[in-house]
């Protein structure tokens, strides 16, 4: 997995979760003979935010003919590269260090990016320190997370990645409930006082109209819109 980014001067909203399902890229191209005949595949992923396609491909790798797959990841914000590295690092923790059930809960808490347990917070701080070491020492990165290569990143970008991981390591308390409510207030503007009606309209008039949208429980959807959980 090689990492780079887009540059620009605009302000961006962080897209923490992708719109589409996780894709096994080898399965996606299984009908394309000239690609399947290759011993090595190069895949460019733009704006995925969470590494789901990488993890899905790794999980299904044993079902395909063996071939090398190189993922090139491009994101608008370096925070998304950092997030992807953390999610991959967590997913690949050896079972003797982290059991499957606990790893699943931990991974989903990090993926949810809102509320986490105290033990998960301690884990995040520990991994943040490791990730600082990784982006400042490629030899350690090759030892600890050999699937990831940052050789295509500029030194300035690596410095910024180090700053991101150091911020995580500080474990500064943030009132997520208050921050979430502030984003809702900013997003809805004058409609904030009738936000329950807005959430209700969005569910029945927008979400249910898309394929499989009705599978989402309306109460859970409106609770998530209000709290982020």
Question: Does residue 84 register a pLDDT over 90?
Answer: yes
Tens of pLDDT, residue by residue over 2-39, are 444 443 433 346 677 787 889 999 999 888 888 888 88
State how far the Cα of 84 lies from the Cα of 55, in Å rounded to an integer: 10
For residue 133, name the pLDDT band (cuts at 50, 70, 90): very high
The percent of residues above 70 in pLDDT, for the chain, comes to: 94
Nearest to 6 by CA among 104, 60, 74, 69: 74
State residue 115's pLDDT score: 82
Angle between helices 78-91 and 100-112 (to 10 degrees): 170
Q: Give Cβ neighbours of residue 13 (< 8 Å, ≥ 6 apart).
A: none
State how far the Cα of 43 lies from the Cα of 35, in Å rounded to an integer: 11
The answer to whether the CB of 134 falls within 8 A of the CB of 166 is no
State how far the Cα of 60 lies from the Cα of 175, in Å rounded to an integer: 38
The answer to whether the CB of 25 falls within 8 A of the CB of 43 is yes
What integer best gives the mean pLDDT of the chain?
88
Tens of pLDDT, residue by residue over 143-193, are 999 999 999 999 999 999 999 999 999 987 778 888 889 989 998 999 999
The answer to whether the CB of 5 falls within 8 A of the CB of 76 is yes
């Amino acid at each position: 997995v090689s990492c780079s980014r887009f540059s620009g001067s605009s302000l961006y909203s962080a897209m923490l979760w992708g719109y589409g399902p996780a894709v096994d890229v080898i399965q996606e191209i299984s009908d394309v003979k000239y690609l399947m005949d290759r011993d090595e595949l190069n895949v460019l992923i733009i704006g995925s935010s969470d590494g789901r396609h990488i993890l899905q491909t790794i999980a299904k790798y044993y079902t395909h003919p063996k071939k090398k797959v190189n993922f090139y990841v491009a994101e608008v914000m370096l925070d998304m590269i950092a997030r992807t590295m953390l999610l991959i690092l967590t997913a690949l923790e050896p079972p003797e260090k982290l059991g499957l059930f606990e790893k699943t809960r931990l991974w989903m808490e990090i993926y949810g990016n809102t509320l986490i347990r105290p033990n998960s917070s301690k884990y995040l701080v520990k991994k943040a320190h490791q990730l600082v070491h990784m982006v400042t020492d490629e030899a350690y990165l090759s030892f600890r997370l050999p699937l990831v290569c940052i050789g295509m990143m500029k030194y300035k970008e690596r410095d910024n990645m180090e700053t991101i991981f150091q911020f995580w390591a500080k474990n500064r308390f943030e009132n997520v409930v208050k921050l979430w409510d502030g984003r809702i207030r900013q997003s809805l503007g004058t409609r904030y006082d009738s936000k329950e009606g807005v959430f209700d309209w969005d569910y029945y008039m927008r979400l249910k109209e898309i394929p499989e949208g009705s599978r989402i429980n309306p109460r859970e959807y409106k609770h998530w819109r209000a709290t982020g959980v």
